[in-house]
């Protein structure tokens, strides 16, 4: 007899089916002559109820003694109608094998645990209802992302994790070296001699796959990359990770409008798929984490996003009458409190802010005719703020050279990037979606550390 997932049993099981299932014991309630055991295998939020009758199970008393919360079990039995409310079927056990015991030091005994505490047991927290739901939604979300781009014939490419160039030019990169840190080779002027390092020059973990995606877009027109990216920014916030996943489409023959349209279609599509595939988990988030989750999802799917320029956004913030911690003025970068005011309070839905001042955005963004702003777009979402950052790219060689120099970046390092503007340059655009910010936005989870299995943040790299 093949083992079936609990999700399959609950959805497709027929009364009378002889079944074998595996899982971990969530709870056990002993009655006089029988026990109720709730078993969960991660395939679904609700586990399945197993009824173990004293006279049906060999060595009943001894087995029940060892069968504690957290233990791994294999159950054989028959699917029967459940008299309990909230479930249609349960398993009448005929055999129970304890595959792995758990004693009463198992930290996930039946009670509410704070997310802070759960982070300290990152190796066990996936067995809780909330984290289970988060990681199922995360999975559906990743799958929907690929589906969206594949349906549109975007080429999925893999950008490197090790790189020599700083895409964002923000100097927030982790250095990768094989040098002996206790005996660093030095140049004559006492700088570290990276010519002796593995790559013969400084190397880093990538902050974004964009520059390489641009290379590929100049051959395949529409491409995307979806992978881990790294930022050594010392931001201890509920929205920043040192390692996060980013989805980055890049489109040749595309301008800022096309870029915005794609970003909006993309978010709507992913929400629709996840709502459809993870209805139970999404309802759980709505009931237990944030009671606006389902309304927000419907709102995303059914309404057009707001669009406004940075200049309009600043004017709005200035006359909002709000006292912000960071004052706003044309030219300053928007802080998360500003982003949230715009999306959450003013628009009450996502808003795409475009045409930011040239001084606060990366060197590759296309300079607008006013020479004061660039063709940038950020999608700001209620609660999480910036969820997508993108732009039309500077395709004009001379302008790009000027921008690189003005940003204080070494032009030599970008020779290949500049070559793309020498050979068959075209208007092109793309964006980066912070995958964890999307999962946060979808689930209503307040801390980004609780939507990635193993968060990396300042002073934290356990598990």
What does the binding site for ligand 4AD look like in residue numbers (CB under 6 A)?
167-168, 208, 210, 231, 233, 240-241, 244, 246, 248, 386-390, 430-432, 434, 436-437
b vs e for 280-293, b when ≥16 Cβ sit within 10 Å of the residue's Cβ? ebbebbbeebeeeb
Cβ closer to ligand 4AD: 35 or 440? 440
Nearest distance, CB of residue 290 and ligand 4AD, angstroms: 19
Interior/surface letters 262-277, b for 16+ CB within 10 angstroms, e for the rest = bbbebbbbbbebbbeb
**388 interacts with, out of Mg ion, ligand 4AD, none, CB within 5 to 8 A per kind:** ligand 4AD
* Residue 385 interacts with Mg ion (CB under 5 A): yes or no: no
Among positions 223-252, residues that touch Mg ion (CB under 5 A) are none
CB of 251 within 8 A of CB of 221? yes
* Residue 32 neighbours by CB distance under 10 Å: 6
Nearest distance in Å: CB 149, ligand 4AD: 14
**How far is Cα 241 from Cα 444, in angstroms, rounded to an integer?**
17
User: What is the C-alpha separation between 272 and 282, in angstroms, rounded?
Assistant: 12
- Among Mg ion, ligand 4AD, none, the one that 168 touches (CB under a kind-dependent 5 to 8 A) is ligand 4AD
- Of 24 and 441, the one with the shorter C-beta distance to ligand 4AD is 441
**Among 115, 113, 111, which Cα is nearest to 134's?**
115
Minimum separation from the CB atom of position 208 to ligand 4AD (A): 4
CB contact at 8 A, 238 and 197: no
Residue 47 interacts with, from ligand 4AD, Mg ion, none (CB under 5-8 Å by kind): none
For residue 36, the tally of other CB atoms under 10 A from its CB is 15
Q: How far is the CB of 389 from Mg ion (least distance, A)?
A: 3
Among ligand 4AD, Mg ion, none, residue 241 binds (CB under 5-8 Å by kind): ligand 4AD
Interacting positions 386-445 with Mg ion (CB under 5 A): 389
Q: Which of 70/385 has CB closer to ligand 4AD?
A: 385
Comparison of 389 and 444: residue with beta carbon closer to ligand 4AD:
389
| Residue number, 75 or 213, with CB nearest to ligand 4AD | 213
Cβ closest to ligand 4AD, residue 432 vs residue 444: 432
Nearer of residues 169 and 389 to Mg ion, judged by Cβ: 389
- Please choose, from the candidates 346, 355, 350, 396, the residue with its C-alpha nearest in 3D space to the C-alpha of residue 375: 355
What the block records as the tokens of 250 is 């890049």
Length of the chain: 463
Q: In whole angstroms, how large is the CA radius of gyration of the chain?
A: 27
| Separation of alpha carbons 447 and 178, rounded Å | 34
Q: Degrees (nearest 5) of the Cα angle 6, 10, 12? A: 110
Exposed/middle/buried for 332, CB within 10 Å: 0-12, 13-18, 19+?
middle
Distance, CA of 423 to CA of 417 (rounded, Å): 11
**Based on CB atoms, which residue is closest to ligand 4AD, 184 or 232?**
232
Return the structure tokens found at 208: 């974004």
Segment interacting with Mg ion, rule: CB under 5 A, options 124-132, 144-152, 363-371, 384-392: 384-392
Tell me how far, at minimum, the Cβ of 442 lies from ligand 4AD, in Å: 13
* Shortest Å, Cβ 387 to ligand 4AD: 5
| Cβ-contact 392, 398 below 8 angstroms | no
Q: How far is the CB of 194 from ligand 4AD (least distance, A)?
A: 24
Given Mg ion, ligand 4AD, none, residue 246, with its beta carbon under 5 to 8 Å by kind, binds: ligand 4AD
What does 79 bind: Mg ion, ligand 4AD, none (CB cut-off 5 to 8 Å by kind)?
Answer: none
- Are the beta carbons of 12 and 50 closer than 8 angstroms? no
**Minimal distance, residue 20 CB to ligand 4AD, in Å:** 42
By CB under 5 A, which span of 85-93, 263-271, 361-369, 382-390 interacts with Mg ion? 382-390
Cβ distance to ligand 4AD smaller for residue 79 or 242 = 242
Q: Based on CB atoms, which residue is closest to ligand 4AD, 23 or 249?
A: 249
Rounded to whole angstroms, the Cα distance separating 200 from 118 reads 43
Pick what 240 binds: ligand 4AD, Mg ion, none; C-beta below 5 to 8 Å, kind-dependent. Answer: ligand 4AD
DSSP-derived letter for residue 372 is S
Q: Which phi and psi angles does 163 have, rounded to 5°? A: -150, 160
Least CB distance from residue 364 to Mg ion, whole Å?
A: 12
DSSP codes of every residue in 123-155? TTGGGSHHHHHHHHHHHHHHHHHHHHHHHTTPE
Contact set with Mg ion (CB under 5 A): 389
């Amino acid at each position: 007899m093949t083992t079936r997932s609990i999700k399959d049993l609950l959805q497709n099981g027929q009364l009378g089916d002889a079944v074998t299932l595996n899982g971990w014991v969530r709870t056990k309630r002993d009655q006089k002559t029988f026990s109720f055991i709730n078993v969960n295998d991660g395939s679904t939020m609700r586990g399945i109820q197993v009824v173990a009758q004293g006279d049906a199970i060999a060595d009943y008393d001894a087995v029940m003694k060892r069968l504690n919360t957290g233990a791994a079990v294999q159950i054989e039995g028959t699917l029967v109608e459940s008299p309990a409310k909230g479930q249609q079927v349960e398993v009448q056990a005929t055999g129970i094998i304890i595959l792995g015991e758990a004693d009463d030091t198992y930290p996930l005994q039946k009670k509410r645990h704070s997310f802070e505490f759960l982070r300290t047991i990152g190796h066990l927290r996936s067995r809780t209802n909330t984290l289970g739901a988060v990681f199922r939604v995360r999975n559906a979300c990743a799958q929907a992302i690929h589906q969206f781009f594949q349906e549109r014939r975007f080429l999925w490419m893999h950008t490197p994790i090790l790189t020599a160039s700083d895409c964002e030019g923000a100097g927030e990169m982790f250095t990768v070296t094989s040098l002996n840190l206790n005996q660093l080779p030095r140049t004559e002027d006492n700088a570290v001699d990276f010519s002796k390092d593995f790559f013969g020059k400084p190397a880093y973990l990538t902050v974004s796959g964009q520059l390489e995606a641009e290379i590929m877009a100049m051959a395949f027109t529409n491409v995307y990359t979806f992978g881990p990216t790294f930022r050594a920014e010392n931001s201890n916030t509920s929205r920043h990770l040192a390692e996060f996943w980013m989805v980055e489409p890049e489109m040749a023959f595309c301008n800022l409008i096309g870029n915005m349209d794609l970003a909006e279609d993309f978010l709507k599509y992913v929400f629709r798929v996840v709502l459809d595939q993870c209805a139970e988990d999404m309802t759980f988030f709505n009931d237990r984490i944030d009671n606006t989750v389902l309304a927000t999802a419907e709102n995303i799917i059914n309404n057009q996003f707001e669009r406004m320029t940075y200049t309009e956004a600043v004017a709005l913030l200035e006359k909002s009458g709000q006292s912000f911690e960071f004052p706003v003025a044309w030219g300053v970068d928007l802080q998360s409190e500003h982003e949230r005011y715009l999306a959450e309070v003013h628009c009450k839905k996502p808003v795409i802010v475009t045409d930011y001042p040239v001084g606060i955005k990366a060197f590759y963004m296309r300079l607008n005719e006013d020479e004061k702003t660039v063709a940038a777009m950020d999608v700001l979402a209620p609660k999480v703020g910036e969820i997508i950052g993108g732009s039309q790219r500077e395709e004009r060689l001379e302008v790009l050279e000027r921008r690189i120099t003005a940003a204080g970046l070494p032009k030599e390092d970008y020779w290949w990037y500049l070559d793309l503007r020498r050979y068959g340059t075209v208007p092109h655009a793309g964006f980066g979606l912070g995958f964890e910010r999307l999962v946060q936005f979808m689930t209503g989870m307040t801390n980004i550390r609780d939507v990635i299995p193993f968060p990396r943040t300042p002073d934290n790299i356990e598990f």
